[in-house]
């Protein structure tokens, strides 16, 4: 390779690193730069030599674009599980996903040891109806092994035209043999908020993921419940189970709907611009009526922001299983050519200063799902701490939320279900217990309410 070509490669690499070397004096500037910001010139020369060797001697010709994109992917994939290079197609998919509609199977996935792991299935999708579970390890897509396949390639294979089939081969904790599950692709329209009136006075809201319009949809759903109830609610259950997260502002706005003041979440990173504090504004949609928040191992990221904020402010009781533990913030950096970089730029902290990175939110009351067969079954769920290369918790856990006991309580598993609510208990025991807990909180609140003014002397009904 000629000296001119090598110089061109070096300049290209410098551009990729975010540095523009316009004159030879930039070399001298590098020598004067601080050690932390100095370009690794020796390592860049090594990279250039390897690139030269591949171009000259590899058994088949490879396009420069493919080589450089793969180098970028490798650089980012070794930072942490959530930093990634998004080509034009992947970037478009991300934008479509946050808008609430895309084609495919309806699975939120991550990568682990070269395989694809399910973070959570999305409600009312082929994946959820077929029984795909959080923590499932996908090892084959049709006849293709996913070992060594990039996450974006795997997602591209799972997506496709509606009404076309695909067979997923998965490994599941506790299953002796791989499971083959046939799914038919659909147009996935994610309804981020679902609602219903459980019984007079008690409402239920489920957020499946946080999108740009989630907070607006939540307000509409809450209004519909109150209309059906013909009045304000006595209490509300907010279900964040298997919610993999989404847009940060969506989570902040949802938490703000139930808080009057105080910090919702703080973000802290190396760059000063990444240090932000999001505060609540006046106005509680429930007017301080009791709340229970349901979480499990599939509750991640934005879900943990909401649960942590409501827990720290003692605005809601958090019930269920320890959450996923994704306490990092990703920033999307468009590159101008249709591609983008998804880069972890900060950690987030709950109002009490807790970092839940790789630890998760510990519920106030721990309660396993009714369908869990053994004590250690929640260990089968994929958590942030299980991901290769995850960020370590920086120890900034701050103060734990105040509780009556030093440890969170744990409800026993049921032996039988009786009474008029037995159907709910059998179908969703965590929701059943959340409703019972909410009724107790409502009763306690009414007993602690200030007494009404007495009637004037001589007043009363005749």
Whole-number pLDDT of residue 330: 92
pTM: 0.71
Q: Which residues does the annotation mark as catalytic?
A: 301, 312, 326
Distance CA 13, CA 454 (A): 80
Full pLDDT tens readout for the chain, 462 residues: 444 333 333 333 333 333 333 334 444 555 566 677 788 999 999 999 999 999 999 999 999 999 999 999 999 989 998 999 998 888 887 887 666 667 789 888 888 777 899 988 888 899 999 999 988 999 999 999 998 888 888 988 998 888 999 999 999 988 989 999 999 999 887 678 999 999 999 999 999 989 888 999 999 999 999 999 999 999 999 999 999 999 999 999 999 999 999 999 999 999 888 899 999 999 999 999 999 999 999 999 999 999 999 999 999 999 999 999 999 999 999 998 999 999 999 999 999 999 999 999 999 999 998 653 444 444 455 677 776 677 888 776 555 554 444 344 554 444 333 334 668 888 899 999 999 999 999 999 888 777 655 544 444 333
- Any idea of the CA torsion for 356, 357, 362, 366, to the nearest 10 degrees? 160
Residue 371: the pLDDT is 52
Q: How is residue 344 written in tokens?
A: 């972890």
- pLDDT given at position 112: 79
**Structural domains of the chain ordered from first start:** 3-62 (no CATH), 101-189 (2.30.42.10), 193-447 (3.90.226.10)
């Amino acid at each position: 390779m000629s000296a001119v070509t090598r110089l061109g490669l070096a300049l290209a690499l410098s551009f990729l690193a975010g540095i523009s070397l316009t004159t030879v004096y930039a070399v001298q500037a590098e020598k004067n730069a601080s050690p932390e910001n100095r370009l690794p010139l020796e390592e860049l020369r090594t990279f250039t030599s390897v690139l030269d060797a591949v171009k000259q001697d590899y058994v088949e010709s490879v396009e420069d674009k493919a080589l450089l994109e793969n180098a970028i992917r490798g650089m980012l994939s070794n930072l942490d599980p959530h930093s990634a290079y998004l080509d034009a197609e992947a970037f478009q998919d991300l934008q479509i996903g946050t808008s609430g509609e895309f084609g495919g199977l309806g699975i939120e996935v991550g990568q682990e040891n070269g395989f694809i792991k399910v973070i959570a299935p999305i409600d009312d999708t082929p994946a959820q109806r077929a029984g795909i579970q959080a923590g499932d390890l996908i090892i084959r897509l049709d006849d293709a092994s996913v070992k060594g396949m990039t996450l974006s390639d795997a997602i591209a294979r799972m997506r496709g035209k509606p009404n076309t089939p695909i067979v997923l081969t998965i490994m599941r904790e506790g299953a002796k043999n791989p499971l083959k599950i046939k799914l038919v692709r659909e147009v996935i329209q994610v309804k981020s908020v679902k609602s219903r009136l459980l019984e007079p006075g008690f409402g239920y809201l489920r957020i499946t993921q946080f999108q740009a319009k989630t907070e607006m949809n939540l307000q509409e759903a809450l209004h519909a419940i109150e209309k059906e109830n013909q009045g304000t609610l006595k209490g509300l259950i907010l279900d964040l189970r298997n919610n993999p997260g989404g847009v940060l502002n969506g989570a902040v706005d949802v938490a703000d709907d139930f808080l009057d003041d105080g910090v919702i979440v703080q973000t802290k990173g190396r760059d000063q611009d990444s240090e932000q504090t999001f505060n609540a504004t006046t106005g509680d949609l429930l007017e301080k009526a009791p709340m229970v928040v349901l979480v499990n191992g599939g509750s991640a990221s934005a879900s943990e922001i909401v649960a942590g904020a409501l827990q720290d402010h003692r605005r809601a009781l958090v019930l269920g299983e320890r959450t996923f533990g994704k306490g990092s913030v990703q920033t999307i950096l468009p590159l101008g050519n249709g591609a983008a970089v998804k880069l972890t730029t900060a950690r987030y902290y709950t109002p009490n200063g807790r970092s839940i990175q790789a630890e998760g939110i510990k519920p106030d009351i721990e309660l396993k799902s009714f369908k869990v067969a053994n004590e250690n079954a929640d260990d089968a769920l994929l958590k942030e701490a299980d991901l290769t290369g995850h960020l370590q918790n920086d120890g900034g856990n701050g103060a734990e939320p105040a509780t009556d006991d030093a440890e969170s309580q744990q409800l026993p598993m049921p032996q039988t279900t009786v009474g008029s609510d037995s159907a709910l208990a059998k179908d969703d025991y965590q929701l059943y217990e959340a409703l019972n807990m909410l009724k107790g909180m409502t009763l306690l609140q009414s007993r602690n309410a200030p007494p009404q003014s007495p009637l004037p002397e001589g007043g009363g009904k005749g």
